[in-house]
Chain A
């Protein structure tokens, strides 16, 4: 039974093309592959203990009119000394196609743990900044952002 009649494999008919177009539309409108659940799993991959609230200042607009260019400033309270510094800083977004945004690795040479950058937000969602300290502790801050125009298609 390894061959089958050709007629079982029709060329693209109008209705099939219409169906494919429908799928394409469905895919293009499906912006949120990341969910609070996938973001939580990613967060778990970054941490070895439960993160505590605090020490991380996450400045991001409450309402972002343009999701393609959302300014973010993160400051982590730390002396950035050899004995006590921020080792890593991760940014997560739970409503983008992928929950990861950026991960930084720091050395004490930075002197101050502050970064600014611009990110994309596909829709209104929750953004988190997670810091890993040299003593092995984890600190997290979360902000809800309302997005007027989503930023993944542009």
Chain B
């Protein structure tokens, strides 16, 4: 069952056209590696976010394939070049098949 991912994004309130914008994304997820054992000694099955796709203004900026070596509560910082006011769309894919999208507005002045 897909739980609601809590995604936080840090964006500047407003940027200039052509500016390079640093974007920080934090999502709460255990990123269960499939290596850990519970108290009874049984392996806790792998359950990670295995893919992150980032689009801006409907175009691909970055896609990432994540392995169990990614730490819990993934925190990503990346860049994009501001072109026009538009939506930044984040799409996470979980091992359980669930997909979660969130949209965040980037305001470009001038």
A residues contacting B by CB (< 8 A) are 24, 28, 31, 68-70, 73, 80, 93, 96-98, 100-107, 109-122, 151-154
Contacts and interface: CB of A to CB of B under 8 A. Distances in A.
Given A111-B20, A153-B35, A98 B81 contact: no
Interface of B: prevailing SS: strand
B61 interface: yes
Interface of B: 20, 33, 35-37, 41, 56, 59-72, 74-81, 83
B43 to A, nearest CB: 9
A104 B71 CA distance: 16
Contact of A111 (B66, B68, B81): B81
Given A110-B61, A112-B20, 18 more contacts: A98-B67, A102-B65, A102-B70, A107-B61, A107-B62, A109-B59, A112-B79, A115-B78, A116-B76, A117-B76, A118-B75, A120-B70, A121-B69, A122-B35, A151-B71, A152-B36, A153-B36, A153-B37
B71 A114 contact: no
A103 B65 contact: yes
Nearest to A93: B69
Contacts of B64: 102-105
Contacts of A117: 70-71, 74-77
Contacts, number: 105
Contacts of A109: 56, 59-61, 80-81, 83
Nearest to B36: A153
Contacts of A113: 79
Contacts of B67: 98, 100-102
Contacts of B63: 104-105
A77 to B, nearest CB: 14
B23 to A, nearest CB: 10
Contacts of A152: 33, 35-36
Residue picked from A103, A120, A121, A153, most chain B C-beta under 10 Å: A120
A101 B70 contact: yes
24 contacts: A28-B37, A31-B35, A70-B71, A80-B81, A97-B33, A100-B67, A100-B69, A102-B67, A102-B70, A105-B62, A105-B64, A107-B62, A110-B61, A110-B80, A111-B80, A115-B76, A117-B74, A117-B76, A118-B70, A118-B71, A120-B68, A122-B35, A151-B71, A153-B36
